[in-house]
Structure formats: C-alpha cells, structure tokens
Amino acid sequence: MKKSFTRREMLKAAAAATISAGAATNGGSALILAKQPLRSVTGPVGTPRPETNHPWYRRLMVGMEVGPTGANDKDQIFYSRVTGEEIVENLVRAQVEYAVIFMKDQDFAYYNSKIVRQCPNLHGRDLLREVLDEAKKHDLPIIAYFQIQYDSGAWRAHPDWRMKDVTGRDIPDRLCYNSGYLDYDKSAMAELLEYEIVGFHVDMLDYGFGPPYGCWCENCQAAFRRRYNMELPRPEKLSWDEAWEKILEFRVNSNTAFCQSLQSFVKAKRPEVAVDFNYHGYPPFTWVEGELPVMHALNGDFVTCEGLPWIFGHYNPSLLSLFIAGARLGGPIQIATSRSVYDYFDPTIRPVAEMKWEVLTYAAHGTQCTVVDKVNYDGTLDSLVYERLGQVFGEVRQKHEFFKHKPIQEVGLYYSSRSRNWFGREDAPKYFAAFSGAHKALVQSHIPLGMIMDENVSAERLGEFPVVYLPNTAILSEKEIRLFDEYVSGGGNLLVTGLGGMYDWYGNLQKQSSLEGLLGVRLVKPILGYYDNFVRLPGGLSHGEGRNLLENIPPDWPALTWGPAAVFEASQAKTYGELLLAFRPPLGQPVVPGTAPEPPSTPLSAGEKVGPAIFVGRRGKGKTIFVPCSPDAAFMSNFRIPENRNLIRNLIRFLNPEPRVKVQAPLGVEIVVNHDEAGRRLLIHFISFSAAPTSTAAAFPHGKTVLPPMMEEPMTYEAQIRVSGKFSKVQALSPMSKIVVKGSQVHLETSAVHEVVIVNL
C-alpha cells in the first residue's frame, strides 16, 4: 500500500540547503563569518561523481538497510503490505546513496527462489524485482541482504549441516562451515546474481556469542584430521594449551575459508558484484565468535560491522572506525547502526541530533555508514524515519569533499589479539578495559589516534606515529619486541601500562616481563590480591623535567587506579611518583598464584608505598614510559576519576610536547585531523556529543546500570586550536560558526554537531 507524503516539498527544500565556509588570514586578529556556499548535492540518488570511477562502496558514504521485523509464518499480516515502490520512494526521501534490502533471512526468501522457502505473505510477489525496477529510475544501487547465521530454516531442513558441541549435541540454529551448507548458499546466491544487484551483504559469520563453542561434527573432525594429522581434541574444559590453540586456529580458518569460497563463487559469475561479511573481530568480541581482527577484516571487498551506541556505548562509533581502519589498512570500511532507540526491532526513532552525531563521526573518520530500518510488522514503513535521516544524510552528502583524506594521528594505540585470546581468555574485560579506556582517555583529551594491530604490525606502521601506546598488553612475541626496540631506538616514543609483557605465549604469568630490557625496569612482584592501587605524584614534580605530569592532577594525593598492577624497580629508567596498595588485602579466600582474583566491589583507601609509579627510559633517539598499573582500565571502571585520563594525557605530552595540531575543547567533543594533500589544507573535524544527565530513581535498586542519554540538541561551545607550522588562512564550514585567528592560535565558537575547521597551508 502506497503512502502519501505531505512533507515532500519541505524535504526537497531541506535537501537543497547549502553550507557556507568562512575564511581568515594568518596573523593579526579577525572575526570570520561564513561567506561562500559549499557545493550542493546534484544529480539523482547514487549517481557517480564525475571525478571518479570507483565502485559504489568506495565512492558512496551513506545508505540504509531495509528488512522485516521478526520473520514468521504464524500471522497473515506479517510483511503483507510491503511494496518495492514504497521502499524506494522512502529511500529517495532519506537521500540515501545505496540500499541493502533483505532477500534471504533466517526463514524466508523475498524474491522468486527455488532454493529458499519464499515468504508466504508476499503471495508469489517478487519484492526484489519490484525494488530494482523502481530503483532504476533513480540510479540507486541495490545490495541483497543474505543471512548465514542463524539460518533456522536451513537448520531445520538439514540436520547433517548442524554445528555440534564437544559432546556431539546439536547447537541450535548454527550451521557448520565445513558442511553442505556452503553449496546451498552458493545455489541461493546464483539465483540472486540473475538480478541487477550490485552486491551481497552476508550476515553473519560467527560461532555464536557464548558456549557451546562448536564445532565437533563429523565434517569438522575429518577436516581437522587432514590439516593437523591428528584427531580433533575434545577437552572437557578449556585447556589453554597447544591443543586448544589448534582448535582456535581451525575455527578461524574454517570461518574465513567459507567466506572466501562464497566470494570466489560470486566473482567467478559476476566480478563487478561486491561481497561483504558482517564482521565480529572487534571489541567487545573475542575468540568466542571465531574471528581475528585482521584476518577476517580482509574477507570481502570491504569490511562491515555494527556501531550501535545503545549496546556498545557512545565511544564505539569512534573506536570502531579507528579499529577497522587499523585492521584493514587502506581498505574500504562500512559500519551499520540502527534508527531505533533501544534495539533493532523497536518502533522508536532516534533524534536527528544524535543520528547526525553518530553518522558524521563515521564520515569524519572516512567510514561509510548504513542505517538499519526494521519496517513495521505488516511491512509498511514509518515515513518519519526517512524524513529525519534525510536531514542527516543530506548533510553528509553536502560535505562529501571533506571526508576520506589522509589522517594525521598522534598516537598509535596497540591492539593485541594474542592478549585478547590468551590473557583475557573467558574474561574479556581483563584485557579490553585498558584498551577501551585508553581510547576514551585520548578522545576526551583531543589527541588524534589510530590503531595498530599485532597481526599486521611492521616497522613502517609503527613509524607513522610519534607515540605508540601499549595498554595492558600482557603477551608479546619476540618479533613485536624487536620492532618496538627498533622503533624507539630510531626516535619513536613508547608508552606501556599495566602488565605489559608479563605473560607467556599461552597466557601464563612469567617471572619477569619480556619488556624489561627495553623499558629499563625489573619485576619485583605481581600484585595478585589487589585491584585498588593508587598513584601519588609529589608536589616537587612542579619543577624540572616532570613538571607537566602534574597538570590537572592534585599533588601528593593518592589517585585510585583500579585495575591490574605490579611492583617494578628501575634498572636504567628514571622514576617519578609512587605506586601504593590498598590499606589491606581484601577479606576472603587466599589468592592462588598465577590466577586473576575476583576483585572486591568497593576499594579500600590507600596504604603503603610499594614502588615507583612512572618509569622514564631512553633508548637510542627515543623515549619510553612505563606505568606498572592501569590508569586506562581505571578510566573504564566504576571508579572512573578524571585524574586517570589526565595522567594519560600528561604522559603523551611528556613524550610528544608539540604535536602538529593541539586542541582544547569540551570533553564531549572528538577531534579528527586529516590532510587534504591535493587541496594543501588541514581539515580539523569537531564532532560534539551533548546530552542531559541520566536519572536512576526509576531504576532503583538497579540504579548503577542505567541506559546512556539520548542526544536531542546540539551543544554550543568554544575551542582553542594551535597549529604548528605556517598556514595562510582558516575557514569555518558552518555559516553560524565564528573564528578568531591570532598568530598560530585559532579560537572557534560553534553550535554545529559536526564542524570542519579548514587550515589552508
């Protein structure tokens, strides 16, 4: 059933709106207001820009995924009123550049399939044909959504394809990657390749999100025997030994072989059709899902994953964009999110300001964004979704020239998949807390960062960053340590926190850290019974080399650094401050050496000093800093005091006091710095998140677990920018922003959710 759209003219007027840019000259003082309009979007939806012939996934920035809410055959109304005409008409209103349309989900096909059961409520209608015929009028690229896990229809029909747990029992709705399910999916893809689709979005390739950890089916046993010349082990519990390593390796290889076989099949038939896989190699996912960050990010023509602030938090859009860029260096990236407030299926719509913040965060990082709309239960669409997204996508399209430029990143944040798997094991926050806390601290400190992965680390990659930061990287190989040594000796700066290098390859505590020689320290003892550790910096640091360490940190005050810690002494490094333990150990069972105790829920106050808090070393032309506790993990804990963030910022500034761009802005503003080399300009993106405080009264007695706030309105704020080196003029993109330039200092006043300060070189 077609809907009428009473606000069509208003939306067309909004789509034609332009954004202006101002200009300033370097030197003197000037108040700059916007004068020149930015190039507006022209041409039909999805039309290639004249300057490029790249495939759609490299040149287009924003799109939508449209699918049903909960496939079922119990209700006659389910999906019965959906039409291709209505879908495309709404997509055009939303100013999308491409669209992903459900064609195979857990139960049904929504096209004329002879392989997959067709949705009964379509009564023989071919929805893909309807969508493609309508999309052709608008040059709108259409991608087919194609579900793998959890294909309950195929699972019910083919018991021999089911994943098995270690005891041989079926794992519900999970299908084995080494079974005949692969050929079944190829047959369904062959049908869809007869249509004019431009790609497949394959959702999703995983082993589930918890036990049982599959798969021990006969197919997997035979494949394992061929690969390793041994039987597939059947551990009664997770063994964390050489046998378990082979099992983990077999799982990730089975996953990626399935992906690559599907992609090769598609390319053999139609090389121009793109294939992407919903990826789960990023935090908070672990070995459980059966993916490695780099290995599985390389599957497909581009990598896709899910942002979803309502489940992963409001720092996830930034973290995820940076993470995937590090995992697939130079590769195209897509992140999916939802228009809903609480999950994929609720009928709510997020405010425009919040969706702008999220989508423009992705865009500033050069990432394509797909917003998912689960349509009404009967198949009709909520026009307000598309109206609001039209405002969001319209702004991204208007600003297209300012995205996807070379990033300028001061800190390389190191991610260790080995530490994730073998140190974190089944307790993911044990590793993730420090990594996520480091990202959060750097973003709030307005220090631009990138991410370095242990799977693809190289001397060249390390050399891209003035500072490399290892947050609680417990396990390191000899190759990694050699690369870090060469990096520092050549003039790089290395920051290490927590239990860096203290665990062996299989996640067992060692008698010394493998980084001791590089850092100029010696392990005295691990702190096994305490999570409540404290850092105290003496007031005497206000003079001399360490004076910057005290910025925004009270002198002589023990700041709680809740998280893993150890006692070290200096062999060659210079020391600053004091590491203190809690007043006494927690009451309870004694801690078994080599294990991680369950931390007490409430920390004690500070007690005795056990060693230095900061070790500063020099090696060749570079510097190292080692903090044998976890201010980064503490900043993600329940006891997240700002002093831990400020300490991390001060340590970075100690190592790299004069970055290319230095920004002071409110904590809710993220900074992304890009170099437009062709245009000879720096592009400094400001993305602001503002929201009202949360309330816990209605959640009592669970008030400590409250949902994050919604962002309903933009924030008016000021920022100070210092640019090193010469520049000719400064422009503010928004017509409402103001800029004052004095020498190398730039003062910005803005109320834009996303602002770009353009520094012409």
pLDDT tens for each residue of 45-66:
444 444 457 899 999 999 999 9
* Residue 54 near residue 274 (C-beta atoms within 8 A): no
Q: Roughly how many angstroms between the first and final C-alpha of the chain, as a whole number?
A: 55
* Residue 647 near residue 699 (C-beta atoms within 8 A): no
What is the average pLDDT across 465-490? Answer: 98
User: HSE (CB half, 13 Å, CA atoms) of 305?
Assistant: 34
* Residue 495 near residue 652 (C-beta atoms within 8 A): yes
The confidence band for 599, taking pLDDT boundaries of 50, 70 and 90, is low
* Residue 143 near residue 183 (C-beta atoms within 8 A): no
3-state DSSP assignment of residue 10:
helix
Please spell the DSSP secondary structure of 375-444, one letter per residue. Answer: --TTS---HHHHHHHHHHHHHHHHTGGGSSPEE--SEEEEE-HHIIIIISTT-THHHHHHHHHHHHHHHH
Q: Where do the domains of the chain lie, and which CATH numbers do they carry?
A: 54-219+252-398 (3.20.20.80), 411-659 (3.40.50.880), 662-760 (2.60.40)
* Residue 137 near residue 84 (C-beta atoms within 8 A): no
pLDDT value, residue 67? 95
* Residue 214 near residue 208 (C-beta atoms within 8 A): yes
| Cα-only R_g, the chain | 27
| Of the listed ranges 362-376, 441-455, 502-516, 524-538, the one predicted with least confidence | 524-538
Q: What's the pTM value of the predicted model, to 2 decimals?
A: 0.91
How many angstroms separate the Cα of 272 from the Cα of each of 99, 158, 188, 300, 305? 17, 32, 18, 13, 22
Is the sign of the CA dihedral 711, 712, 718, 719 positive or negative? positive
pLDDT value, residue 544? 75
* Residue 648 near residue 442 (C-beta atoms within 8 A): yes
pLDDT value, residue 20? 29
pLDDT value, residue 711? 93
Residue 32's beta-bridge partner residues?
739
Residue owning tokens 């692969």: 182
Nearest residue to 360 via CA among 405, 412, 318, 330:
318
Quick: pLDDT tens for 273-288: 999 999 999 999 999 9
What is the average pLDDT across 84-95? Answer: 98
Quick: pLDDT tens for 648-702: 999 999 999 999 999 999 999 999 999 999 999 999 999 999 988 877 776 667 7
* Residue 665 near residue 719 (C-beta atoms within 8 A): yes
pLDDT value, residue 697? 72
In the predicted model, is pLDDT for residue 33 greater than 60?
Answer: no
Quick: pLDDT tens for 184-239: 999 999 999 999 999 999 998 899 999 999 899 999 999 999 999 999 999 988 89
In the predicted model, is pLDDT for residue 259 greater than 50?
Answer: yes
Quick: pLDDT tens for 555-594: 999 999 999 999 999 999 999 999 999 988 766 554 444 4
Please name the residues in contact with 592: beta carbons below 8 A apart, sequence gap of 6 or more.
none
- Parallel, antiparallel or unpaired: strands 493-497 and 199-203: unpaired
Q: Look over the chain and give the mean of its residue pLDDT values, rounded to a whole number.
A: 90
Nearest residue to 729 via CA among 759, 690, 686:
759
Residue owning tokens 């190289």: 458
Quick: pLDDT tens for 343-380: 999 999 999 999 999 999 999 999 999 999 999 999 99
How buried is 641 (Cβ within 10 angstroms: 0-12 exposed, 13-18 middle, 19+ buried)? middle
Nearest residue to 122 via CA among 379, 374, 373:
379
User: φ, ψ for residue 164 (rounded to 5)?
Assistant: -120, 145
What is the average pLDDT across 312-316? Answer: 93
How many angstroms separate the Cα of 126 from the Cα of each of 120, 121, 134, 638? 11, 11, 13, 52
What is the average pLDDT across 239-262? Answer: 96
The confidence band for 543, taking pLDDT boundaries of 50, 70 and 90, is confident
- Where does 543-636 show beta strands of DSSP type E? 559-562, 565-570, 574-582, 606-619, 622-627
Please name the residues in contact with 496: beta carbons below 8 A apart, sequence gap of 6 or more.
470, 473, 515, 519, 624, 625, 626, 627
In the predicted model, is pLDDT for residue 5 greater than 50?
Answer: no
Q: How far apart are CA 687 and CA 672, in angstroms?
A: 8
The confidence band for 628, taking pLDDT boundaries of 50, 70 and 90, is very high
Nearest residue to 248 via CA among 218, 283, 214, 223:
214
Please name the residues in contact with 356: beta carbons below 8 A apart, sequence gap of 6 or more.
391, 392, 395, 753, 754
3-state DSSP assignment of residue 249:
helix
How many angstroms separate the Cα of 341 from the Cα of each of 95, 372, 657? 21, 12, 41
3-state helix, strand, coil in the chain (%, to 5): 30, 25, 45
In the predicted model, is pLDDT for residue 436 greater than 80?
Answer: yes
Q: How far apart are CA 200 and CA 275, in angstroms?
A: 5
In the predicted model, is pLDDT for residue 21 greater than 50?
Answer: no
pLDDT value, residue 204? 85
pLDDT value, residue 30? 32
Question: Would you tell me how many other CB atoms lie within 10 Å of the CB of residue 677?
Answer: 10
